Amino acid sequence: MPVVNRPENYNWSNVDRSRAATRRRQDTAWNLRQTGMSYINIAAQLGYVDANGRPKAQSAAEAVRASARRRASGDADTALDIVSNTAEFPMLPSDRTFGVEAEFFGITPQAAIDALYQVGIDCRHENHNHVTRTWWKIVYDASVNSRGTGQGHGIELVSPILRGEEGMAVAALAVNTLQGIGGKTDKTCGLHVHVGMDGLVGRDVVKIMDLYTANQENINKLIARSRWRNIYCQPIDNATRNSRVVNDFASATTALETSRFGNALQYYDRYHAVNLASYAKYGTIEFRQHQGTLNGEKLTSWVRFLLALVEKGSSSTNANEDFGSLGGLLNGVPLHSETRSFLTRRAERLERSREEARLRATGATN
């Protein structure tokens, strides 16, 4: 029986199968192919995968051909799809750099490295460190389940600095590959995402954190309950927000002030949903709240959401804007409709799971 990273009662697809969504994915595949992206990376990026989560290059190629046929025939619906896509936000909300750290267990570091090598990803096993590499790395993580790792502790996949659709594609390919060979996640695992803050002053960076905090209850709907008040990704409270180091950084309106006050952020407690301490080390904000996942579409959709949140927050005149609902939030940041739809469905599934768990607990006590 194939090993998959999902519950036994998993019986739905995260991919929108409607005619319009299918055509949008085909057209996106065609566009990515024109940039020179390989079919295997297109498959990983757009969710053309087999039952084990491995990308299917053949399916991506068929999607590209389907889009090409419709373009050649002058299909009216295709023209309409193209017009609607150009009238909304692009698939990628910004061109900012990002990096991912995916905690997992179930396989040894060497098995992970060998599998990633087979799909063209250079990954190396290193002792735990915080050094940014130009290659992917597997490091240990003492907070993660150790089963199957052969290490006596859990492990974590850390990306190099990534950017753009190519970065999204390789990130999806990497985690899908690990899931395909038996990698697993549970409540001990998290997904951490760094987003580059290039070009922003301290005031802009803190506005991003404030927007996240103002919409914390809505964002929680996209996150497993185990991560709502987890010790490794605590919500931002008043004491943290109004600490001297954060207020000083929020007052920075020039590059010089940003550099000076940014150095003090090394004293910020990194175990928050939004980690400003990473700015002092890497010039990034680290978002730590998402639960562990080795599902490429879940990972990249979350990264797209964070990129959109960064763009909205950094340019906002009201960084404390509460959008009132998850729908209001997803429509209030520059997200492509496909990502918005995926996240909406994801929230609905999480809510169903929480309700089922509540009913089971209630039944057990009655």
73-95 tens-digit pLDDT: 766 444 334 333 334 688 888 99
For 271-317, write each residue's pLDDT tens digit.
999 999 999 999 999 999 999 999 999 999 999 999 999 999 999 98
Task: Of 5-9, 161-165, 189-193, 278-282, give the lowest mean pLDDT range.
Answer: 5-9
Q: Which helix (H) or strand (E) holds 123?
A: strand 123-125
Residue 159 CB partners (closer than 8 Å, separation 6+):
99, 100, 101, 136, 171, 174
Q: Which helix (H) or strand (E) holds 213?
A: helix 202-214
In the predicted model, is pLDDT for residue 11 greater than 50? Answer: no
Give the 3-state secondary structure of residue 161.
Answer: coil
Among the residue ranges 14-23, 152-161, 316-325, the one predicted with the least confidence is 14-23
pLDDT of residue 364: 58
Write the DSSP symbol of residue 290. Answer: S
* Residue 25 reports pLDDT greater than 60: yes
pLDDT per position as a tens digit, 35-56: 667 788 788 777 787 766 678 8
Exposed e or buried b per residue across 336-361, where buried means at least 16 C-beta atoms within 10 angstroms of its C-beta = bbbbbbbbeebbeebeeeeeeeeeee
Domain boundaries, the chain: 19-86, 97-353
State both tokens at 56: 């299917």
Tokens representing 342 are 């995926």
Q: What pTM was estimated for this model as a whole? A: 0.78
Q: Are residues 53 and 179 in contact, defined by beta-carbon separation less than 8 angstroms? A: yes
203, 319 in Cβ contact below 8 A? no
Q: Please say if the pLDDT value at position 6 is more than 90.
A: no
Q: State the Cα–Cα distance between residues 126 and 138, nearest whole angstrom.
A: 6
Buried b (16+ CB within 10 A) or exposed e, 222-250: bbbeebbebebbbbbeeebeeeebbebbb
Q: What residue type is assigned to position 317 of the chain? A: T
Of 30-39, 60-69, 97-106, 332-341, where does the model show the most confidence?
97-106
Contact indicator for 302, 193 with CB cutoff of 8 Å: yes
pLDDT at 59: 86
Residues in the chain: 366
Q: List residues bridging with 137 in a β-sheet.
A: 124, 158
Mean pLDDT of the chain: 87
